[in-house]
Chains A and B, each alone.
Chain A
């Protein structure tokens, strides 16, 4: 158990190493050689935040918090700046990790996975299926994307990799009907968790959003209490538009958690701070690659630590 957590944390750090080094080393070099807090320094720190996609408002707020705290510090000190930064970031991310709620009571727990086009929904479902199945749960995946070409085939490959069963409909079939069949199958088989994939859609298309609401209603109707999780998958490279995505998907579907995919690149996903500023929805999982095991629980403290470390070792700092 401890080994597992340790490994997960290392991978999170690896996944975010780029981020941390940009921010961490940046702060160090900004603070180094300054004898007083001047405007130039605040501006540079603000820019460091901006480039992680926090957005102007969050960056300004965090810098204001730093300014306020700096009154107690005397002269600029990188470690103090780091620790304040970390606190400001972690607070914005909700402080505590929020685990997935997968207790279906009598029946299966249903996880509805939604998001804009290409965000990483199907891949995240594949990874989650593998993880849950590895934990001994009986998992079923439902190919609710009947629209995009080869979306079902794609999920079928993931189901195969994760070694879990899949329910598919016909291409072009009504998504809600396929999902209904999926829930029927899950109940029949005695599944513990049903993961429902859906077609990607932009939150601005209300016709498509209505279709998703219908899918949700079908789930509610077939299994009272479900869906237990409605996960909104965000592409980690997305900028300020993610705020609007979270808002609109949240309003229409009642999002219970965010999945931040594609954090293995150089994107930092700082926009989740802006999202949490407006909406009370926690990040629950992060995607750090295209392999089966590249999914991790989101831990605000670790995320903040990775964004603003106080103890970058020389070898890490060099990168």
Chain B
């Protein structure tokens, strides 16, 4: 639905090509487009206004660089400005100090606090910490159950004392955490409206009682203009040190990140990207800027690819590709990695310009064909995997039986693999000829 900003600006600047300087006049229309894009991304209207002003100041008077489209040049100014406003660098929560370190998790109803507590516990555990969960929401039906079940499912210690006054729950929870030898305590508070003075006062009492090192405000990533009200009121009435923006696994553009950062100065520290307790990512201002501007998230993609391939291995792979020694065994390894990187559609969704229907196709398949391909390769002997040419009819039949597929599917895979090798051989040659062209994908496995 939302056309990406770059292509819109290209339209605006069509007439400007070869004219030299960005002037107030020719930038004005672009600024209108930028404002619209920001509003569509749910950036608060005042923040959008300020932002556009800053961009104008920076853009007007700039010379149009040779070889770059003026639209692209403005996009770059916009992007840089936004990265800066979003905080520039990655911020982590403050969980140092003498244990147990209390962390308060607060926010509006249904924003994702309880789920985020479980995610934070998983994140802490991976860092070698000993988290302890405290369900401090006696109001919402079954809120306590929810956190206790989440804790149990993920193997975390949890406070199971009686449902009483939240201040009392937190006080006792802290004591129990000491007994459990925990070093970080995550206090899951009830959802509340920022204008509910009584419940905001309750949070202040909890704060006074446990003296948290970190208060995290959990905000639904799909929130609209209200983000500013919410953040300002929570800051005024309670104060917070970091923001977790949840439900970012969908197609919300997340303009709230910019709004909240802009009006409170508090950094966004994490993104929630799914319902599972592992779906928590550190916040990267540059990627968020691309997302708000709808410019695709190539960086995340590249990094994920890199994460799942060891550096040395990647080189090894490159060599194999060049020498055309890529076997079915390597192919299977890559398949498994691809699956580890996350749902294919999600990966493709990070690439700018991938059409929506293509995504839907991949989603529908849900990685099923990948699983079948993997099953086929797994049913081969090591010798067959390294030297597919020995696969005669009877071997193919055996593999089909073993993998629960059909001979046709086995044939199809072998043909595709053959084609792929041919293509790689050509690409390998291209790469030798000219190092450029593939740009940032140079280190992408298999590319």
A149 near B150: Cβ-Cβ < 8 Å: yes
Contact of A266 among B39, B40, B195 (CB under 8 A): B195
B110 within 8 A of A: yes
Closest to B45 in A: A50
* Total count of chain A residues near the partner, CB < 8 A: 47
B225 near A244: Cβ-Cβ < 8 Å: no
Contact of A206 among B40, B194, B275, B363 (CB under 8 A): B363
Binds B, one of A3-11, A113-121, A219-227, A308-316: A113-121
A241 near B195: Cβ-Cβ < 8 Å: no
A303 within 8 A of B: no
Given contacts A239-B222, A239-B225, are A153 and B142 in contact (CB under 8 A)? yes
Residues 208-241 of A at the B interface (beta carbon under 8 Å): 235, 237-241
Cα–Cα distance between A241 and B249 once the two chains are bound (Å): 13
Contact of B149 among A119, A150, A205 (CB under 8 A): A150
Given contacts A235-B222, A265-B226, A266-B195, are A204 and B251 in contact (CB under 8 A)? yes
Kindly provide the distance from the CB of A173 to the nearest chain B CB, expressed in whole angstroms. Answer: 16
Given contacts A56-B39, A235-B220, are A149 and B149 in contact (CB under 8 A)? yes
Given contacts A55-B40, A238-B220, are A117 and B112 in contact (CB under 8 A)? yes
A239 near B247: Cβ-Cβ < 8 Å: no
Cα–Cα distance between A240 and B139 once the two chains are bound (Å): 30
Contact size class for B? 35 or more
Question: Residue among A156, A240, A242 with the most chain B CB within 10 A?
Answer: A240
Given contacts A118-B111, A264-B193, A267-B226, are A149 and B153 in contact (CB under 8 A)? yes
B224 near A240: Cβ-Cβ < 8 Å: yes
Closest to A161 in B: B141
B172 within 8 A of A: no
A18 within 8 A of B: yes
B225 near A53: Cβ-Cβ < 8 Å: yes
A235 cross-chain contacts in B, Cβ below 8 A: 110, 220, 222
A157 near B141: Cβ-Cβ < 8 Å: yes
A86 within 8 A of B: no
Cα–Cα distance between A158 and B140 once the two chains are bound (Å): 10
A241 near B36: Cβ-Cβ < 8 Å: no
A47 within 8 A of B: yes
Closest to A210 in B: B364
The dominant DSSP class at the A interface is loop
Given contacts A51-B225, A148-B275, A265-B195, are A154 and B146 in contact (CB under 8 A)? yes
A290 within 8 A of B: yes
Q: Mark B134-155, 1 if CB is under 8 A from A, else 0.
A: 0000011111011001100100
Cα–Cα distance between A120 and B46 once the two chains are bound (Å): 29
Cα–Cα distance between A241 and B146 once the two chains are bound (Å): 27
B194 near A51: Cβ-Cβ < 8 Å: no
Cα–Cα distance between A171 and B431 once the two chains are bound (Å): 53
Residues 216-250 of B at the A interface (beta carbon under 8 Å): 220, 222-226, 229-230, 247, 249-250
B1 within 8 A of A: yes
A266 cross-chain contacts in B, Cβ below 8 A: 193-195, 226, 229-230
A203 within 8 A of B: yes
Question: Residue among A52, A147, A244, A268 with the most chain B CB within 10 A?
Answer: A244
Cα–Cα distance between A97 and B389 once the two chains are bound (Å): 71
A207 within 8 A of B: yes
B252 within 8 A of A: yes
B141 near A206: Cβ-Cβ < 8 Å: no
A20 within 8 A of B: no
B275 near A154: Cβ-Cβ < 8 Å: no
A207 near B140: Cβ-Cβ < 8 Å: no
B223 cross-chain contacts in A, Cβ below 8 A: 237-239
A149 near B220: Cβ-Cβ < 8 Å: no
Given contacts A53-B224, A239-B42, A240-B224, are A150 and B250 in contact (CB under 8 A)? no
A63 within 8 A of B: no
Cα–Cα distance between A154 and B145 once the two chains are bound (Å): 9
Closest to B150 in A: A149
A69 cross-chain contacts in B, Cβ below 8 A: none
B360 within 8 A of A: yes
Cα–Cα distance between A203 and B250 once the two chains are bound (Å): 7
B39 near A154: Cβ-Cβ < 8 Å: no
A241 near B145: Cβ-Cβ < 8 Å: no
B111 near A265: Cβ-Cβ < 8 Å: no
Cα–Cα distance between A53 and B43 once the two chains are bound (Å): 10
Cα–Cα distance between A52 and B363 once the two chains are bound (Å): 34
Kindly provide the distance from the CB of B342 to the nearest chain A CB, expressed in whole angstroms. Answer: 12
Cα–Cα distance between A12 and B414 once the two chains are bound (Å): 66
A207 near B195: Cβ-Cβ < 8 Å: no
A307 within 8 A of B: no
Cα–Cα distance between A127 and B361 once the two chains are bound (Å): 39
A241 near B110: Cβ-Cβ < 8 Å: no
A47 near B45: Cβ-Cβ < 8 Å: yes
B193 cross-chain contacts in A, Cβ below 8 A: 264-266
A100 cross-chain contacts in B, Cβ below 8 A: none
B366 within 8 A of A: yes
Cα–Cα distance between A239 and B48 once the two chains are bound (Å): 15
Closest to B153 in A: A149
B371 within 8 A of A: no
B143 cross-chain contacts in A, Cβ below 8 A: 150, 154
B21 within 8 A of A: no
Pairs A-B, 6 closest by C-beta atoms: A239-B224, A118-B110, A157-B141, A239-B42, A202-B250, A150-B145
6 more contacts with CB within 8 A, not counting A117-B275, A206-B345, are A50-B39, A53-B226, A154-B140, A203-B250, A265-B194, A267-B224
Q: List residues of chain A with CB under 8 Å of any chain B CB.
A: 18, 47, 50-53, 55-56, 116-120, 126, 147-151, 153-154, 156-158, 202-207, 235, 237-244, 262, 264-268, 271, 290
Can you list 26 A-B contacts (CB < 8 A)? A47-B45, A50-B225, A53-B42, A53-B225, A53-B226, A148-B275, A150-B142, A150-B143, A150-B145, A153-B146, A154-B142, A206-B363, A206-B366, A235-B110, A235-B222, A237-B226, A239-B223, A239-B252, A241-B250, A241-B251, A244-B1, A262-B109, A265-B108, A265-B195, A266-B195, A290-B140
